[in-house]
Amino acid sequence: MLAVCALADKVIVGYFPNWLYARWPASNIDFSVYTHIHYAFSILIKGDTPEWTDPSQVDTQLPALVKAAHASNAKVLISVGGWSGCLTFSTMAADPGQRKNFIQWNIDQIKKYGTDGVDIDWEYPGRQGAGCNAFDVANDANNYLVLLKELRTALDGLTGPRKELSFAAHVRPFVTPSGYMTDVSGFANIVDRINIMTYDINGAWNTTTGPNAPFNFEPGYGDADSYVSGIQGWLQAGAPKNKLVPGIAFYGRSATSTVDMSQSDSQYQGQVASKPPHGDSYDAFWQDPYCSKDPGSLSGVWRYGNLRSQGVLTTPTSAAPPWIRKWDKVTQTPWLFNPTDKTFISYDDPQSIGIKIDYALCQGLGGAMVWSVDEDTSSNELLNEVAKIRSG
């Protein structure tokens, strides 16, 4: 009975992008599995007050999401920030008056929409992140802690059920002048969850192909980060197991190799850097409207559901010609290669996700987080594996 109770306490967090519009409505979310939905994103691109890119859409979409979630005893948190929405987090967090305005906006949104808390997605304290973000390596982490403390106090001042507070974090702890933070216990004491972004570890920005979301990394190849190293790094820095929620990618990233990878079992080969090929049918050229320093491009992203529906994968483990599927034993991830145009895709499938969920269970972690809810197949091939975090 104790084991069953422990599993029931685990969360399954899904990020719901607010730019999906009618293509993927909130009614598609499987609330028999998800315990929390993070509505992403409100953005902080000037001053101290977040904003919505499409307020009229939010006024329609968010109430419907909250109603559906609450009907299934799930919770909705507004997620503030994101890759292109963190321009002034650093300057806001450094100033008491600006923090007060930021916090008040979040409180007002909870009161307006009936949401269940706040998720902060500041990418990344102490680092540049997107090319126009303000950052202060000496003070960002400490200022972030002050912001979270003040936000927690404000949330506790609301009437009704307790409001939750979480943040999304880089695969390594916060950057400080002396290196990565070695004690994050102060943060962990304040928040309900730390959601680790254990994906986007390699991509078309590199000079070699490599895994988007490796379970383990192979020393000397690609970036030296992984699902396991990220979890262990945060645990060693003082994050409690029950508050640590690792991320699961429902998408893959593509690149153009400079060699014929069908002749090799290694997923690490030279690639055309910073020029991702066209991804799935939803991919399109995008230029960050808030940062001209970041060059526009295709994303090269392939959602797993589109790998299946667009005929790249005929089954979860079988590729349609000319695509070739291979499995990397170190990173415990599949990869695809098309010899006709030298396109490489690193992604996750039910097999690789099952390995990650097993590890999270064995480590006694707080659950799993998904980016994003819309990228699976209609039959939940990936979500069915994630759901095992609550069933064992």
CB atoms within 10 A of CB 6: 14
Question: When comparing pLDDT for 98 and 293, which is higher?
Answer: 98
Tokens of 1: 């009975």
Domain ranges in the chain are 2-250+348-391
pTM for the structure as a whole:
0.97
The pLDDT value recorded for residue 363 is 98
Q: Which CATH number fits domain 2-250+348-391: 1.10.1200.10, 2.30.30.220, 3.20.20.80, 3.30.70.1710?
A: 3.20.20.80
b/e per residue 23-45 (b: at least 16 CB within 10 A): ebebeebebebbbbbbbbbbbbb
Confidence of residue 2 (pLDDT cuts 50, 70, 90): very low
Interval 197-219: pLDDT, tens: 999 999 999 999 999 999 999 99
The rounded distance, in Å, linking the Cα atoms of 228 and 211 is: 14
Given 3-state DSSP classes, what are the helix, strand and coil percentages for the chain, each rounded to the nearest 5?
A: 30, 25, 45
Q: Which amino acid is at 205?
A: W
Q: Torsion-angle region of residue 342: left (phi > 0), alpha (psi -120 to 50) or beta?
A: left
Using alpha carbons only, what angle is made at residue 152 by residues 151 and 158, rounded to the nearest 5 degrees?
95
Pairing of strands 117-121, 75-81: parallel
The pLDDT value recorded for residue 61 is 97
Phi and psi (nearest 5°) for 151? -65, -40
Does residue 1 carry a pLDDT above 80? no
